[in-house]
Amino acid sequence: MGLGLAARGFKAALTAASWRYTGLRAYCARMETRGLLFRQLFESESSTYSYLLADVESREAVLIDPVLETVERDLKLIDELGLKLKVAANTHCHADHITGSGLLKQRVFGLKSAISVHSGAAADIMLTEGDKITFGRHSLTVRETPGHTDGCITYVTGDQSMAFTGDALLIRGCGRTDFQQGCSKKLYESVHQKIFTLPGDCLVYPAHDYKGQTLSTVDEEKKFNPRLTKSLEEFVKIMDNLNLPKPAKIDIAVPANLVCGLHEV
Ligand SMILES: N[C@@H](CCC(=O)N[C@@H](CSS)C(=O)NCC(=O)O)C(=O)O
């Protein structure tokens, strides 16, 4: 006897869910085989993603774009996983939230903060194009991707399978360019020259998502990004007409982030 419509729908949903689960499990397992531990972490007030990457063997870890409000949560996870946090790596001087770098430095002995030398901010490690942040057998390579701010950088894993794009490239979007040295032309060139030249299946992990999306790929963004698939002239026009309200915390976040939260600790 054939399945009823409702039962068929239920079966399809189950299959899709189990595929998603199996797919995710396989993906995580693949990373574990490569000896890389990875977690995407979310802060809901600013819709910010932080990323924890660690070498499975040495347990050395890097936390990309930590947020002040989620430092305790992140430290608990780091402790539970038996990791040694070495670097708090910022993609740029954020305008919408305070980085967790300073508080993490107070809490984790020997932890170093990192940010671009072009950010205007102070940190222990001042990064430029091609620099590497090493953790165990793994590393992140810096690609300078200015445009949202002058000091925006993208961190790329050694095998170019993952790119942490900060606010330069968001999923189906990009960072605004109307303050903090923002420049649409620079952003367009950064994305096309430094991110769209990565392998098509390179996973794109942004600093924010406002729609519940978690990751994308270089190929997907080259095909579907509604802003960056346009010509430079059209892109500049789009960016000039975003008319976004300024981030609610900009006046406290920028000064705090210029010293990486609480740098002098
Ligand atoms: N409403 C939020 C700020 C939202 C915002 O402006 N996001 C920035 C990245 S954080 S500076 C952005 O570039 N958005 C691009 C876009 O197209 O939305 C707040 O008040 O904090």
pLDDT (tens digit per residue) in 199-214: 999 999 999 999 999 9
Average pLDDT over residues 238-257: 97
Pocket lining: 166 vs ligand 1, CB cutoff 6 Å:
no
Q: Give a yes or no: residue 120 inside a domain.
A: yes
Which residue range is the domain that position 67 belongs to?
A: 32-244
Which pTM was predicted? 0.90
Residue identifier of the C-alpha nearest atom 2 of ligand 1: 247
> In the prediction, which pLDDT does 21 show?
46
Q: Give a yes or no: residue 144 inside a domain.
A: yes
Average pLDDT over residues 15-32: 49
State yes or no: pLDDT of 260 exceeds 50. Answer: yes
From residue 80, alpha-carbon distances to 32, 127, 172 in Å are: 17, 30, 34
**Average pLDDT of the chain to the nearest whole number:** 91
- Of 100, 101, 55, the C-alpha closest to 81 is 55
> In the prediction, which pLDDT does 33 show?
53
> In the prediction, which pLDDT does 243 show?
98
Q: Give a yes or no: residue 21 inside a domain.
A: no
> Which atom of ligand 1 sits closest to the CA of residue 180?
11
> What percent of the chain stands above pLDDT 70?
86
Pocket lining: 194 vs ligand 1, CB cutoff 6 Å:
no
Q: Give a yes or no: residue 96 inside a domain.
A: yes
Instruction: Say if residues 183 and 119 touch (Cβ distance below 8 Å).
Output: no
pLDDT grade for 34, boundaries at 50, 70 and 90: confident
- Residue 44 sits in a domain of what CATH number? 3.60.15.10
Which of 48, 167, 181 maximizes ligand 1 atoms within 8 Å of its Cβ, making it the mutation to test the pocket? 167
Q: Give a yes or no: residue 157 inside a domain.
A: yes
State yes or no: pLDDT of 117 exceeds 60. Answer: yes
Pocket lining: 150 vs ligand 1, CB cutoff 6 Å:
no
Cα three-residue angle 120-156-186, rounded to 5 degrees: 50
pLDDT grade for 1, boundaries at 50, 70 and 90: very low
State how many domains the chain has: 1
Q: Give a yes or no: residue 251 inside a domain.
A: no
User: For the CA atoms of 199, 192, 215, 87, what is the dihedral angle to 10 degrees?
Assistant: 90
> Which atom of ligand 1 sits closest to the CA of residue 176?
13
Instruction: Say if residues 149 and 132 touch (Cβ distance below 8 Å).
Output: no
Pocket lining: 248 vs ligand 1, CB cutoff 6 Å:
yes
Q: Give a yes or no: residue 58 inside a domain.
A: yes
State yes or no: pLDDT of 14 exceeds 70. Answer: no
> In the prediction, which pLDDT does 31 show?
62
> In the prediction, which pLDDT does 261 show?
84
